[in-house]
Copies of this chain bind each other. A is one copy, B any other.
Amino acid sequence: MSRVTIKDLARYLNINPSTVSRALRDHPDVSARVKESVQQLADKLGYKPNFAAINLRKGKSGTIGLIIPEIATYFFPNVIKAIEEVTHLKGYNLLILHSNDNIDREIQNAEICARLGVEGILVSLTKESSDIEHFQELMYEGRPIVFFDKIIHDSLAYKITIPGERAAYEAVNFLLSKHTQCKRMAGILGDERLSITQDRLSGFNRALKEHQIATGSGMVHFAHSSIEGGEIFEELWNSSRRPDGLFLMSDEILEGVMKKVHQLKIDLRHEMKLIVMSDGFLPRLFNLDMPYIQTSGFELGKSAANLLFDLLEGQNIPNHTFYIDTPLIESSLQKR
């Protein structure tokens, strides 16, 4: 592909390719005179190193792989952006593999990472992933892997996620305590198979228990899409036992709920308090006086990428599990 090679330069200058290589990499064994002439010719002829050859020779690819279950969501674009920023800073390239929430594609993607020789991998699992078997091989080969966001808790791997239990607890606790004093809490969560759903569910339940509210039937619902989230909200709203407090675990669910709110022309203010786990975009978009737990995809991506590079640089990191901060924003009206 790239036209002019080191050999070409060498031929042209009547010197050995090895000298050209060293000259270009500023090796001390090469005289300044030669270095200069090589540089000049390289510039003139537009020499571009061939990465495939370098990778082959060095056994490195200068690339890190990012495997994500979905792209077009509230969360992942910012994750990608942060990761891209870090990898670029470190002089690496980013290969993005999309699993489309499909375990088979995830396995394929792990394969691709192996074949391409990516040096490290960042993974957010699909709903369908119940283990990380398919990454074992990569890990045996000593390639650092960091699992983030959607993870398997009881794995030995490095992982970094949102402290879902704590955050959900805090959220629900906020609605149940002094400020708002909700009496009848409900929650709409995401796919049951996801680690983040289970985390947040635990926190939700702990808060209810602590406030001595029975975690009875009909209080927790799982939505598998934004639309289903809206439908569940409608049912809750029309229920004879309409809750006065509602916990939503994600922006996707909030989206569904808000659509229903608009569609049914509901005025929530005096009827039902909402609290969400969100990056803040939707809450601030509607300019509602809504509390939320801020979950930053950007921060998570950044931390995951930094952790990966620490590992790549050979740092010994005894702790395998990390959490990022998730502040409670009491109102989406307050400026950040």
Contacts and interface: CB of A to CB of B under 8 A. Distances in A.
A88 to B, nearest CB: 7
A111 B48 CA distance: 8
A46 interface: yes
Contacts of A51: 115-117
A279 to B, nearest CB: 10
Interface residues of A, number: 53
Interface string A113-142: 011110000000000000000000100010
A49 interface: yes
Given A1-B117, A72-B77, 7 more contacts: A2-B141, A51-B117, A52-B56, A52-B61, A84-B96, A94-B96, A262-B287
Interface of A: 1-3, 46, 48-53, 55-56, 59-61, 63, 71-73, 76-78, 80-81, 84-85, 88, 93-98, 105, 111-112, 114-117, 137, 141, 143, 255, 258-259, 262-263, 284-288
Contacts of A59: 1
Given A111-B48, A115-B49, A115-B50, A81 B56 contact: no
A94 B95 contact: yes
Nearest to A114: B48
A255 B80 CA distance: 22
A262 B85 CA distance: 33
A38 B49 CA distance: 35
Copies in the complex: 2
Contacts of A85: 98
Contacts of A84: 71, 96, 98
A81 B52 contact: no
A169 to B, nearest CB: 29
Contacts of A288: 262
A88 B63 CA distance: 18
B50 A2 contact: no
Contacts of A112: 93
A98 B93 contact: no
A5 to B, nearest CB: 11
Q: Which of A77, A143, A255, A284 has the most CB of B within 10 A?
A: A77
A300 to B, nearest CB: 13
Interface centre among A61, A72, A98 (most CB of B within 10 A): A72
The 7 closest A-B pairs by CB, nearest first: A262-B287, A52-B55, A72-B77, A52-B56, A1-B117, A84-B98, A71-B81
Greatest chain B CB density within 10 A among A1, A95, A262 is at A1
A174 B85 CA distance: 42
A96 B96 contact: yes
A256 to B, nearest CB: 10
Contacts of A137: 46
Nearest to A98: B84
Contacts of A56: 50, 52-53, 56
B76 A114 contact: no
Contact of A98 (B53, B81, B98, B255): B81
11 contacts: A1-B59, A1-B60, A1-B114, A2-B114, A50-B56, A52-B52, A56-B56, A71-B77, A71-B84, A85-B98, A94-B96
